[in-house]
Amino acid sequence: MKIQFKISSRRQFIKSLCVFCASGFTPLWNINFKNKPENEFGKEPVSPDAEQFVPSFLNLHKEGELRKRGKILWDIMKSCRLCPRECGVNRIEGEEGFCHASSNLEIASFHPHFGEERSLVGKGGSGTIFFSNCGLRCVFCINWEISQGSEGSVNNISDLADMMLQLQKRGCHNINVVTPTHYSAHIVLALDIAAGKGLRLPVVYNTCGWERPEILEILDGIVDIYLPDFKYSDGKIAAKYSSEAETYPELTKAALLEMHRQVGKAQPAKDGLIRRGLMIRHLVMPNNIGGTKEVMKWIAENLPKDTYVNIMSQYRPMYKAFDFPEISKPISREEYRQAIIWAEQAGLTNLDIQGWYRE
Ligand code: SF4
């Protein structure tokens, strides 16, 4: 995939270079850039926060532990239990589980993404890698062609490492692995290769939230930012819209606690970017299908009140949602307003709320 470079950013860089030199500071060419995060175009100055950041996986890579963890995850695929489906198929032998993934690594796209949370996007974008297939398989999935329609192509683990390094070169602020669970082994092994070649960005584990805590424990010290959904508070609802995943609320709650134990609260650095912590997403659904009040109450009662929670308004009926009249329409302003009220009543203080709501 070819990634477009923005000319306006290059102009901006040259302009800032002139201002910088004219102001009497050390000329840029006298600064030693050795060991600084690589940015192919130099289009944005690297912030001191980015310079000082050391990703969690780096020490594990140096100790040889990252490769070991990747191997452990790989071996789990022999009787796959990487996600709560626990299919038990031998993916190494080419069998496919409920997620439709074998050991072949299928990737739909990778690119700087500017539609994620502001604290992940910054100026350079979030370096997203969209993996094909999914173990949850929701009827309203906005990315259903990728998650359930087998869109994507087969890549090897070195390709994945190269993608990570390319995203870093393009000036992205993180590596954002989207729907990563069924390819967690591939991701960790690729990180090990990329770390050896200079990858120094935080890893964002962008998941549906329905995770086995035992698998998350293997990722301890590898992931810097957990970005899970918390979609439903009711197991029967989860089963109805997400392929019989009745354990969704119970397992997601356990997963959120484990994620928080590993990375703590998400707090932006001085440059406004988050490089470590738990960032929860909740999509407000029509007719309160997600059980927003209970979701907010649980977060407030079981995690710090200032846990980052993005209350998302962008629900649109997609894919098979039209087979269910109750979710075959966008949410109303009133439904979104009510969700915010529930979150505030629960005592949550670090809400990411859609801009239009504030106007
Ligand atoms: S990752 Fe896929 S094969 Fe493995 S348990 Fe989950 S659905 Fe089954």
Helix (H, G, I), strand (E, B) or coil at 56: coil
Regarding predicted confidence, which is higher, 158 or 149?
158
Q: Which atom of ligand 1 lies at the shortest distance from residue 91's CA?
A: 3
Domain definitions of the chain by residue range: 49-358
Amino acid letter, 297:
K
CA 321 to ligand 1 centroid distance, Å: 24
Q: What is the mean pLDDT of residues 177-199?
A: 98
Probe residue for ligand 1, chosen from 81, 179, 187, 242 as the CB with the greatest number of ligand atoms within 8 Å: 81
Beta strand spans in the chain (E): 105-113, 126-131, 153-155, 175-178, 203-207, 225-228, 277-283, 308-312, 351-353
Q: What is the pTM of this model?
A: 0.87
Provide the percentage of residues in the chain whose pLDDT is more than 70: 87
Q: What is the mean pLDDT of residues 260-286?
A: 97
Question: How many whole angstroms from its chain centre is CA 209?
Answer: 10
Mean pLDDT of the chain: 88
Alpha carbon of 102 to those of 96, 156, 179: distances in Å? 5, 13, 15
Probe residue for ligand 1, chosen from 75, 77, 83, 210 as the CB with the greatest number of ligand atoms within 8 Å: 83
**pLDDT at 5 exceeding the cut of 50:** no
- Closest by alpha carbon to 275, among 46, 44, 56? 56
Q: What is the CATH number of domain 49-358?
A: 3.20.20.70
Q: What is the mean pLDDT of residues 250-268?
A: 98
* Predicted local distance difference test score (pLDDT) of residue 49: 84
Q: What is the mean pLDDT of residues 55-59?
A: 95
**pLDDT at 27 exceeding the cut of 60:** no
**DSSP conformation letters of 246-285:** TTHHHHHHHHHHHHHHHH-B----TTS---SEEEEEEE--
* Predicted local distance difference test score (pLDDT) of residue 176: 98
Provide the percentage of residues in the chain whose pLDDT is more than 90: 82
CA 316 to ligand 1 centroid distance, Å: 27
Within 8 A by CB and 6+ apart from 184, the residues are 73, 82, 215, 218, 219
Give the β-pairing of 203-207 and 175-178: parallel
Q: What is the mean pLDDT of residues 274-299?
A: 98
- What does the longest C-alpha to C-alpha distance in the chain come to? 66
- Closest by alpha carbon to 45, among 25, 62, 28? 28
- Which stretch of 39-43, 57-61, 179-183 has the lowest confidence by average pLDDT? 39-43
Probe residue for ligand 1, chosen from 73, 75, 85, 247 as the CB with the greatest number of ligand atoms within 8 Å: 85
User: pLDDT tens digit string along 319-335?
Assistant: 999 999 999 999 999 99
Amino acid letter, 168:
Q
Q: What is the mean pLDDT of residues 55-83?
A: 97
Nearest-CA residue for ligand 1 atom 5 is: 86
